[in-house]
């Protein structure tokens, strides 16, 4: 086991979000993903175009619950239901402990495998750097079920790490990302160890491939909403 940053340890191809990762997750991810908190803010603002009274929203891979709590706060005057899904029990328990009295009536966390989850009708579904951790053979079915479960006019907000469209762009993205992480205080050893730990665990596709997934599911109205080299957000409306 080797350090991958913020006292989190992993071995080659074995990174996961279990154990005590929930205690260090927010600090680690905010330094690992460019504009992580800005992405949360953008999602909250976009949500007001789709959420109304009695709307249901899903947060896929809800982790410690920061995004779902921010979503609830931003839409505090609406009577909505937010369902956070995560397969790590400790993440779910940690997220539940962060809820205040009012949010307990609006936010519900469930431990589940989203590959098998049956979505109810909703107006907004969010996947914030989550589907990239699901094996590619399962992804199209997930996109299909997301599209089917959305009400007409509902939105799917997808953020993913993406690969460059060719080797030159990928090389540029990789070098700039390593520099970004070094600037955040990660050591060169930690950067290398983290890169090794997510082999076969995080499988990014190109921007086009992600859009193709969405189109095959049935989405026709798709637009990029944020991009920093290999980190990109998309908005797809049913």
pLDDT tens digits along 165-188: 999 999 999 999 999 999 999 999
- pLDDT score recorded for residue 14: 65
Q: What tens digit of pLDDT does each residue of 4-26 get?
A: 666 777 776 667 777 776 777 88
Q: Which residues of the chain have pLDDT under 70?
A: 4-6, 12-14, 21
DSSP 120: P
Per DSSP, what are the bridge partners of residue 159? Answer: 128, 233
- pLDDT score recorded for residue 11: 73
How far from chain centre, in Å, is Cα 43?
A: 11
What is the CB neighbour count within 10 angstroms for residue 56?
Answer: 19
- pLDDT score recorded for residue 22: 75
- pLDDT score recorded for residue 198: 87
Q: What is d(CA 195, CA 4) in angstroms, rounded to the nearest whole number?
A: 8
- pLDDT score recorded for residue 149: 97
- Rounded to two decimals, the pTM is 0.94
- pLDDT score recorded for residue 26: 85
Residues 69, 47 contacting (CB under 8 angstroms):
no
Q: What is d(CA 126, CA 115) in angstroms, rounded to the nearest whole number?
A: 15
DSSP 78: S
- pLDDT score recorded for residue 13: 67
Contacts of 58 (CB under 8 A, 6+ apart): 82, 83, 84, 85, 119, 122, 124, 125, 126
What is the CB neighbour count within 10 angstroms for residue 44?
Answer: 16
The alpha-helical segments, DSSP class H, found in 58-135 are: 66-74, 89-97
What topology does CATH give the domain 34-173+205-237?
Answer: Rossmann fold (3.40.50)
């Amino acid at each position: 086991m080797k350090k991958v940053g913020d006292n989190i340890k992993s071995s080659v191809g074995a990174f996961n979000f279990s154990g005590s990762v929930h205690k260090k997750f927010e600090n680690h991810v905010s330094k690992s993903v460019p504009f992580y908190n800005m992405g949360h803010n953008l999602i909250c603002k976009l949500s007001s175009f789709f959420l109304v009274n009695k709307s249901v929203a899903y947060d896929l891979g809800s982790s410690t619950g920061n995004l779902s709590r921010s979503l609830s706060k931003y839409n505090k005057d609406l009577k909505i239901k937010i369902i956070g899904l995560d397969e790590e029990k400790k993440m779910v328990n940690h997220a539940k402990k962060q809820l205040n009295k009012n949010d307990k009536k609006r936010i519900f966390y469930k431990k589940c495998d989203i590959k098998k989850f049956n979505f109810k009708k909703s107006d907004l579904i969010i996947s914030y750097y989550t589907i990239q951790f699901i094996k590619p053979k399962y992804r199209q079915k997930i996109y299909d079920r997301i599209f089917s479960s959305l009400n007409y006019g509902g939105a799917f907000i997808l953020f993913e790490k993406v690969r460059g469209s060719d080797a030159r762009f990928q090389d540029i993205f990789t070098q700039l990302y390593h520099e970004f992480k070094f600037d955040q205080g990660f050591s060169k050893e930690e950067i290398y160890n983290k890169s090794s730990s997510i082999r076969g665990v995080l499988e990014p596709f190109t921007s086009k491939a992600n859009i193709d997934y969405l189109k095959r599911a049935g989405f026709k109205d798709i637009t990029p909403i944020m991009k920093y080299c290999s980190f990109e957000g998309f908005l797809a409306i049913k």
